[in-house]
Structure 1
Amino acid sequence: MSAHHALLLGTCDTKLEELLFLKGEIERYDVKVTLIDVGRTLTKHEAITISQSKLLQVYSDGKDISHLPRNQVLNTMANCATQQVQTYFHSGDIHAIVSAGGSCGTSLAAQVMRDALPIGFPKMIVSTVASGHTGPIVGETDITMVYSVVDIAGLNQVLRNVLSNAGAAVAGMARAYASRLSTRGAGSQKKRVGITMFGVTTPAVDAIRKHLESGQEVETYIFHATGHGGRAMERLIREGQLDAVLDLTTTEICDYLTGGVMSAGEHRLEAAAKAGIPNVVSVGATDMTNFGPKSTVPERYKDRNLYEHNPVVTLMRTSKDEARRVGEFLTGKLTSYSSDVEKIEVWLPMGGVSLLSTPGGPYEDREADHEMFEAIRRGLEGSGIKIVEDKRAINDQGLAHDIAEALLKKMGISRNTS
């Protein structure tokens, strides 16, 4: 019996022929395949390991879904499959998961992969919609999307080639993952530090990263604060894959509050506070909201201070009211979700929160910055969370050194800097 095991998820009532071909391609590389049927109607075939009726019986009290609307069928089968996949994962018996389907099958499989499996576990979907807007499918996870080119509706040479490549890739991923499992824990592990970055805070992050990694204790994970980046960091914290956070660039709050295109959602800043891990927070790039090309900026913002960062990104300067709300959001999250206030520290770079808001810059607005700083002072008053007010700008190299040292201190790491 193979030591490597992949799950194959699909709607066998509509895609059985294609799923069986993919199963065979994976098995060519000596990888065991478990086929899980998540279709609307019961399909009987000897190659199906876990039938649709078995999933419903175990996880949904044998519920009859044949007459339900499509969205309810998808939700029911996704919930059942998620529980089944979680069972396999926690047993340590699987090394990859793959699916193939159209838009509905893709949506179902992606929900299962996002909800049941951590970042780092191999996930792949061969999909008819993989060349389009895949953000809602992949989310903040590491799902690999493969475009099917032709519809998954009958085998032909093009689809056989695509599925054959996918099968080989999944087999390789399963073997690589199993190999990592066998060597996990060998040797010393570095402390894992998440850092948030934007183009306008890159000089600071580069300096912070180099300083943190100048010793042998730390490796850094840089998250581009584009919405998905913030969500990915929050997810990794929840999964226990980060030991500390330097949340330098909290710009995603602006997009959440004003309707920008790079929002990380309402739960930003919660995970690290809940986890009680060392958490140094700043207000990098909170002077801006992000939109697409200038023509896409909402009408209500057309008279604001807009800056074309590049042809596909237009920035909008945060107003005094919005800046105050950013401060209130930040302090509200930290005070509501902190499990250990001693692990949290908030840094306020008074000389400018991004490359654009330093003196003479296009986004210099001392009144707006003042509103945010005041909101943070008020919000954290009496909370026990330390505030560090620094006269330097966020990208000042000296400030970068000091804020990195502050995090190291929270982590209990002391270095001889003489």
Structure 2
Amino acid sequence: MAATKTILVIGTYDTKDQELHYVADSIRRMGGQVLSMDVSVLGDPSNPTDVSKHQVAAAAGKSIGDVINAGDENLAMQIMAAGASRITAQLYAERKIDGLIGLGGTMGTDLVLDCCQALPLGVPKYVVSTVSFSPLIPTDRLSPDIQMILWAGGLYGLNSVCRSSLSQAAGAVLGAAMAVEQPRRNRPVVGMTSLGSSCLKYMKYLREPLEERGFEVAVFHATGMGGMAFEALARQDYFAVALDLALPEVGNLMVGSVAHAGKDRLTNAGLAGVPQIVAPGCTDLIDFAGWQAIPDAYADRPFHAHNRLIVSSALSGDERRALIRDIAERLSKATAPVKFLMPLHGVEEWDREGQAAHDPDGLAAMADEVRKAVAAPVDLRELDCHINDAAFAQEVLAIIDAWVADGTIRMAA
């Protein structure tokens, strides 16, 4: 029998007292324990919580009076979010909680997202929200392993409709806390970005050789959420080396596509002192959500409908130059070695001769701008191959071998 798990239940008990108690009671009925946190500002819960709103405000260096006198509900809740996330991190560090569940509308959700980000990968995080999966929530607010459920019928008051969501969430977070296999970190981790193998194939050449060298390999799908997860773990110094070889999210951010991974993409590994091998994989294309019309500015360009979720259009030569300058600026802040690999024969499968995105002039413009923009401390290597050729992967492995030999890559997990 697994040890009893304790779930942190977070919410505004002045407005959602019944709902929060229902979730807590559901967890207890299933054999779990509960630690409750009130993040209200004006009202009080029907019964005292384990962590009071006064303790939450104090953790942010304020009193509830200060929060009320902030004079703005947004600022007030940001103060409470700061306090709540600090307490959440402390409770986990003290091994007092095994998972988190938070309830809310936009206010509560905004706060709970910060609490979720205060917990590391592998700690169950469940958000029951009236705006779950909404475009109101930017990708950079989401934790790598966050779980959400839409709080149907849950705006005001407990009812049979919202009990369905709440009971599922209670069971899910307790079950996750009981079942989760925490990351062991017993091998150095390679974080690699890519797209599906129909577009980028280097992971097929790299994974097994890296594992044979003693690494664990985690590949992140660079379509927005994957890049966000990659950055979150890089920020935690989780990787021994970052192979950031697919960068369409940076271009997507540049042109305003929703398929981006936040403004800090391609910065966190460098700031954390993680050595990086970087390549402009798929930076010739922009990804749009399949449910959106392609903007008029891209309507006459090469176009690829990958599926009903994602469609791609090509960048012009000037846009590729601007993107390379942006990438170079992000990498210039790195505090550890960076190798930038420029495959001169292409950066994704569909830019080969005869394919829809073949544009030798655009590729030449990209390579020219790489030569101009990528400068020390970043080390540029031009490769006489395509990014999907085995020669590209061999260059990556050669760099890794050299970094292991000179101690740049820490092999101790």
Aligned to 1:143: 146
Query: Is the CA contact 2:58–2:83 (under 8 Å) kept in the aligned structure 1?
Result: no
What's the counterpart of residue 42 of structure 1? 43
**Residue in structure 2 matched with residue 73 of structure 1 by the alignment:** 76
Is 2:296 the counterpart of 1:299?
yes
What is the Cα deviation at residue 76 of structure 1? 2.3
**Number of aligned residue pairs:** 401
1:380 aligned to 371, 374, 377, which one? 374
1:274 aligned onto 2:271: yes
1:144-196, Cα deviation, whole Å (9 max, x unpaired): 1123333253334444344333223222333345x749xx57xxx22211111
Following superposition of structure 1 onto structure 2, how do residues 13-412 of structure 1 map, counting pairs within 5 Å?
A: 13-64=14-65, 65-66=67-68, 68-114=71-117, 116-130=118-132, 132-133=134-135, 135-136=137-138, 139-151=142-154, 153-176=156-179, 180=182, 189-199=186-196, 201-213=199-211, 215=212, 217-293=214-290, 296-335=293-332, 337-341=333-337, 344-381=338-375, 383-412=376-405
Are the counterparts in 1 of residues 104 and 128 from structure 2 also a CA contact under 8 Å? yes
Tell whether the 8 Å contact from 2:325 to 2:373 is kept in structure 1 after alignment: yes
1:223-281 CA distances to partner (integer Å, 9 max, x unpaired)?
A: 11112222211110111222111111112222122222322233222122223323111
**Contact map agreement 1:273 1:279 (CA 8 A) in 2:** yes
Q: Which residue of 2 aligns with 1:7?
A: 8
Separation in structure 1 between the aligned mates of residue 361 and residue 106 of structure 2, nearest angstrom: 48
What displacement does 1:50 show?
1.8
Equivalent residues of 2:59, 2:86 under 8 A apart: no
Q: Is there any run of 5+ residues in structure 2 with no aligned partner, and where? A: 408-413
Runs of 4+ aligned structure 1 residues displaced above 6 Å come to: none
**Any conservation in 1 of the 2:59–2:87 contact (CA below 8 Å)?**
no
The structural deviation recorded for 1:32 is 2.7
Unaligned segments of structure 1, at least 5 residues: none
1:273 to 1:66, Cα distance in 2 relative to 1, 3 A: closer
TM (norm. structure 1) is: 0.86
1:276/1:84 CA distance change after superposition, 3 Å: closer
Indicate conservation of the 8 Å contact 1:42/1:53, yes or no: no
Please say if residues 353 and 394 of structure 1, whose CA atoms lie closer than 8 Å, have aligned partners that are also in contact: yes
User: Residue type matched to 1:40 in 2?
Assistant: V
How far does residue 328 in structure 1 lie from its aligned partner after superposition?
Answer: 1.4
The amino acid of 2:335's aligned partner reads S
Distance in 2 separating the partners of 1:94 and 1:203: 41
Cα deviations by residue, 1:367-388 (Å, 9 ceiling, x for unpaired):
222222222222334x153322
Per the alignment, residue 410 of structure 2 pairs with none
Residue 191 of structure 1 contacts residue 243 of structure 1 at CA under 8 Å; is this kept in 2? Answer: yes
For residue 10 of structure 1, report the CA deviation from its aligned partner: 0.7
Contact 1:278–1:411 (CA under 8 A) maintained in structure 2: no
Percent of residue pairs identical: 28
Alignment partners' CA distance in 2, 1:270 and 1:162: 37
- Farther-moved stretch of structure 1 (63-72 vs 37-46): 63-72
Contact 2:253–2:260 (Cα < 8 Å) also in 1: yes
Q: Identify which range, 137-146 or 80-89, moves more after superposition.
A: 137-146
Change (3 A) 1:171 1:411: same
Contact 2:200-2:281 within 8 A present in 1 as well? no
* C-alpha contact (below 8 Å) 1:140/1:228 kept by paired residues: no
TM-score scaled by structure 2?
0.87
Q: CA deviation at 1:358?
A: 1.3
Q: 1:267 to 1:162 in 2, by over 3 A?
A: closer
Q: CA RMSD in A?
A: 2.7
The residue identity in structure 2 corresponding to 1:353 is V
Give yes or no for contact 2:237–2:269 (8 Å, CA) kept in 1. no
